[in-house]
């Protein structure tokens, strides 16, 4: 299927947006005030963003049980959601003042930090930020499931792809984008995706490709194996009964709509 260049370009820059930055020293964290709590979260924002917190809370709570059940954990405390009034304030808070506008959310330990959907910047929209908060919560849930050491051992395509999957960010646009880029060149390898820096990952459309890897694994082998893989990525051959290379070949077949053999 042909997609116009303009649409594709817009899509590629607007697509995904999320970084997990393991160590942050937020300068602005305390400038937000505690405003409300929901069943599992405490929300902090400026006055101007109070009116969006109900929608954020509903979105998170609506996805909470599904993600907890899939990963098979419980979290016994409330976690924080910090909503920054604009992209600039968020970038200062994560100590990346020069980050591009697609960087709009992160998870730092038990804090979710994000740009307000009311002021989404040049790349994102209100709606896409409602997915971003779920995406970041998936990172948090993985953090609770595997700990800091486990996070460090997790391939980037696996953590990002799973966050995309659970937050509904893999959609027809993503698939069409990936399909059309396959007409031009081979997809990045899993190793390349894993080795990329956060910025490189964004530039190579690592989010979209990773989403399709996780989607392929779940569609073909089920979510239980995927969760086992998140918990023990070094066991990939035991979990799937195939080498990583063989799985990677199957993923390419999946992308090309070939029968997987």
Q: List contacts with Zn ion (CB under 5 A).
A: 18, 160, 163
We find the least distance from the C-beta atom of residue 132 to Zn ion, in angstroms, to be: 9
Which residues are registered as beta bridge partners of 103?
Answer: none
Tokens coding 47: 């006055």
Shortest reach from residue 18's CB to Zn ion, in Å:
4
Q: Which is nearer to Zn ion, 26 or 161 (CB)?
A: 161
Largest CA distance in the chain: 56
Question: Is the Cβ–Cβ distance between 108 and 24 less than 8 Å?
Answer: yes
What minimum distance in Å lies between the beta carbon of 16 and Zn ion?
8
Residue among 139 and 177 whose Cβ is closer to Zn ion: 139
The CB-side HSE value for 59 (13 A sphere, CA atoms) comes to 24
3-state SS string over 201-244? HHHCCHHHHHHHHHHHHHHHHCHHHHHHHHHCHHHHHHHHCCCH
Nearer to Zn ion, 163 or 214 (CB): 163
Exposed (0-12), middle (13-18) or buried (19+): which is 205, by Cβ within 10 Å?
A: buried
Distance CA 183, CA 25 (A): 42
The distance of closest approach from Cβ of residue 113 to Zn ion in the complex, given in angstroms and rounded to an integer, is: 12
Give the residue with the Cβ less far from Zn ion, 26 or 206. Answer: 206
Closest chain position to Zn ion (CB): 18
Whose Cβ is closer to Zn ion: residue 49's or residue 160's?
A: 160
Minimum distance from residue 164 beta carbon to Zn ion (Å) = 8
């Amino acid at each position: 299927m042909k997609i116009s260049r303009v649409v594709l370009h817009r899509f590629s820059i607007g697509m995904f947006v999320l970084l997990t930055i393991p160590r942050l020293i937020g300068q602005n964290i305390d400038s937000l005030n505690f405003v409300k709590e929901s069943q599992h979260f405490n929300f902090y924002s400026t006055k101007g963003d109070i009116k969006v917190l109900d929608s954020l809370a509903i979105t998170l709570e609506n996805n909470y049980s599904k993600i907890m059940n899939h990963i098979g954990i419980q979290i016994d405390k409330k976690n924080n959601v910090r909503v920054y009034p604009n992209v600039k304030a968020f970038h200062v808070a994560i100590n990346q003042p020069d980050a591009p506008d697609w960087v709009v959310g992160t998870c730092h330990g038990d804090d979710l930090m994000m740009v307000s959907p009311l002021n989404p910047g040049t790349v994102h929209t209100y709606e896409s930020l409602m997915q971003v908060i779920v995406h970041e919560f998936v990172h948090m849930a993985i953090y609770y499931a595997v700990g800091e050491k486990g996070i460090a051992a997790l391939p980037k395509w696996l953590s990002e792809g799973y966050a995309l999957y659970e937050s509904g960010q893999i959609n027809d646009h993503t698939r069409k984008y990936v399909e059309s880029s396959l007409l031009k060149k081979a997809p990045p390898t899993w190793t390349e995706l894993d080795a990329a820096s956060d910025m490189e990952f964004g530039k190579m459309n690592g989010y979209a490709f990773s989403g399709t890897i996780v989607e392929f694994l779940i569609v073909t082998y089920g979510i239980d194996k995927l969760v086992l893989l998140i918990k023990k990525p070094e066991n990939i051959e035991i979990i799937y009964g195939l080498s990583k290379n063989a799985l990677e070949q199957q993923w390419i077949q999946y992308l090309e709509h070939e029968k997987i053999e």
